[in-house]
Structure 1
């Protein structure tokens, strides 16, 4: 088992939630200092090296020029530094007790995988759909072929690599959980098909605790069905949409994501800092957010032991996600071919995604229960509620939905402040 997965499973056995930042810096010394701070903070933590925008899109010349000129980058330019420098960076901080994941966002990452494998990177993430549709104009068949080669390269590495699907995080928000679960499982199947023996399945926190608990339970059940024979775990992302404006609202949202992770038995949490909504967080802000999450996890674990866990919703989400997975797999001899065909026919269709290989016929809304549901299915085999009492979708309503959690958590903070003032 890769040491990344070994560390996560060891922490889960000990009743600890693994927490991880989304951290990346262009300067080598600063990146090293960031990893060291995450390693040494008071939390069960894993390190992250997030790549810069130039490197993600394959514009390596611009990344090299930025390094040469000392220009500021919004992440780590892996290709510009090269194998020897990356290996040296990892050798100085990474260990069995502190594995490191490289996060990149590239739809065509074969060159990056070559560097990561040669440098001995513990883990990375992405997928043929999840790193193609949201991030550019690369045709989906080209991305699927490239990711197949990446997966095979990682599978053949001398040091086993762990690969996390980003499929459960499509567009960050306003994607009904059944589709997120289905895409995560399908990309996990894709990785296994191309030789990976250790994977993780992602899911991004949405807008309703009960629905998220139901989704994570469905994800675990389908993973057990489709990924038998290989190692896997689940990774939760703190809400990826518009964050609250107030610090207290932001920390309350982060706290809820931690509790969601613990109550759902999720092994790993990607932590978002309050500062991230406005700018790139500092090293100290990343470490503080990890320590906060770790402290909340301890309390949430005690609540679960005392049987105070909240109930999951019962909306038929598992059946819907299973239907999407099975309908897709019927369309091709390989998972990659099935995924390409499913999107071409609209059997899979991500709401509000503008990529040309996405049908764009499906729509989702936050319904009158505060849950994400389908308002239009397009060609997808999903159920659209017949008695939806929510108003029709307009540009104004879409904007309102995008700010749903921002307003809710800030409003709770402001309401609490007013009550305290009145008292």
Structure 2
């Protein structure tokens, strides 16, 4: 591709919200029953919020175990998502009828390392937006080789790109900025997200989004989101329609309602301050179970009210930040391994140029380590074979990260936000902040 692509329907909606100064919100909603899934989508659509819909798929479908999904449905077993492939296409079409539109885009979220059948069914059902990637949906969720996942994703992305021949522009969001949910330094998250977007473009797709998951230090997260925007501008702006998406914290979530509301509000402020176009919200039920429709709507309303209370984006940082420079090095080193990213991504993991801390996938060296410093910033403890010089945080250590420190880092937000005073405090509606009452902080 040498010319900039027109916007997909999905990204056009988000761009329109951005021009209006509005943050687009999205729940992570998925139910096994088509009627309940439809009810959830209609509830989000009719809520009067700048929100898009989500059909999150179940665990059987994620692993292409469609017969098991069908058997579970027949037995009345409640699944943890929508079994898109197992459910007859006509039922899914009825579920979506009058719901998905240009004014209410719907994205399929799945978690599959081999998504061809999922994408084919999604397209047949009339949906054209999804997410994932050959790394981000392989390492955390499967044991298949990265080379197999990369080949599968190559076929799947080409399938989406080919839809432009019938006038449909599909959209894909990289999940690369959310690897394992926590304890992955921002420089690596930014690099993985950009590399997956470049992989999508390599296979002909013209509309992508790059992701980043809220971590444990607001200043570092701001730096990361600006670094992601700058790299996307350098790599994607002339050839592809793109935007950024932020995830409310994907790690161990606060167990109290008050703590969960604070963390969601913090992610909203982070998105608005950095001009991020879309936010994936989480509910106060995240630590305990799958959220209900009502809980998803409550989280969306809280997020919208918090966004309205924020003044708007702040200026981008001057100069080259450490996160930007780390990500820039990683993107360049991986891309230089081979003529295509289809070849380069597996090679990068084989040689340790990409190495996700604490990830147990067989193709991941698992030599790199990170920890939280005293300010809650994610810093490299050991960079393994990552091509980062000492000036950019590169280091090797013989001592290991102890179990007590790892546990403390994993529970950072829960310990910070699940304080006894918060458990006793009544929950306030988000709108109260605009009438002189501040949200718990």
- Normalised TM-score (structure 1): 0.93
For residues 230-280 of structure 1, what are the alpha-carbon distances to aligned partners after superposition, in whole Å with 9 as ceiling and x for unaligned?
Answer: 100000000011111221111000000000000010000000001021000
Structure 1 gap segments, 5+ residues each: 418-423
1:1-16 equivalence runs, <5 A? 1-16=7-22
Alignment of 1:130-149 (within 5 A): 130-149=136-155
Q: Larger % of helix: which?
A: 1
Distance 1:339 1:82 in 2: 36
* Residue 90 (structure 1) aligns with: 96
Alignment partner of 1:289 is 2:299? yes
- Residues in 1 aligned to 2:73 and 2:31: alpha-carbon distance in whole angstroms: 11
Residues 8, 169 of structure 2: 8 Å contact kept: yes
SS in 1 for 2:210: strand
| Structure 2 contact 130–171 (Cα < 8 Å) conserved | yes
Q: What are the residue-to-residue correspondences of 1:208-357 with 2, within 5 Å?
A: 208-227=217-236, 228-300=238-310, 302=311, 304=312, 316-357=322-363
Deviation per CA, 1:362-420: give whole Å up to 9, x if none.
000001232001000110022565999xx962011111100001111223954996xxx
Paired position in structure 2 for 1:421: none
Q: Specify whether residues 206 and 100 from structure 1 end up closer, same or farther in structure 2 by C-alpha distance, changes over 3 A only.
A: same
CA distance in 2, matches of 1:311, 1:409: 29
Superposition deviation, residue 116 in structure 1: 1.1
C-alpha distance in structure 1 between counterparts of 2:394 and 2:198, whole Å: 33
Q: Is 1:202 aligned to residue 208 of structure 2?
A: no
Residue 406 of structure 1 aligns with which residue? Answer: 414
Q: Does 1:150 align with 2:156?
A: yes
Aligned partner of 1:394 among 402, 411, 427: 402
**Which whole-Å CA distance do the structure 1 matches of 2:141 and 2:417 have between them?**
28
Bigger drift between 210-219 and 34-43 goes to 34-43
Once the two structures are TM-superposed, the CA of residue 200 in structure 1 deviates from its matched residue by: 0.4
3-state DSSP class of the match of 2:244? strand
Give the C-alpha shift of residue 314 in structure 1: 7.8
Verify the 8 A CA contact 1:5 1:162 in the aligned structure 2.
yes
CA distance in 2, matches of 1:224, 1:404: 33
Q: Is 2:372 aligned against 1:363?
A: no
Q: Report the secondary structure of 1:187's partner residue.
A: helix
Q: In the aligned structure 2, how far is the partner of 1:196 from the partner of 1:401?
A: 38
- Sort the Cα spacing of 1:313 and 1:289 in 2 relative to 1 into closer, same or farther, 3 A: farther
* Aligned structure 1 segments of 4 or more residues deviating by more than 4 angstroms: 309-315, 383-388, 412-417
Runs of 5+ in structure 2 lacking a partner? Answer: 1-6, 426-441
Equivalent pair of 1:214/1:312 in contact (CA under 8 Å)? no
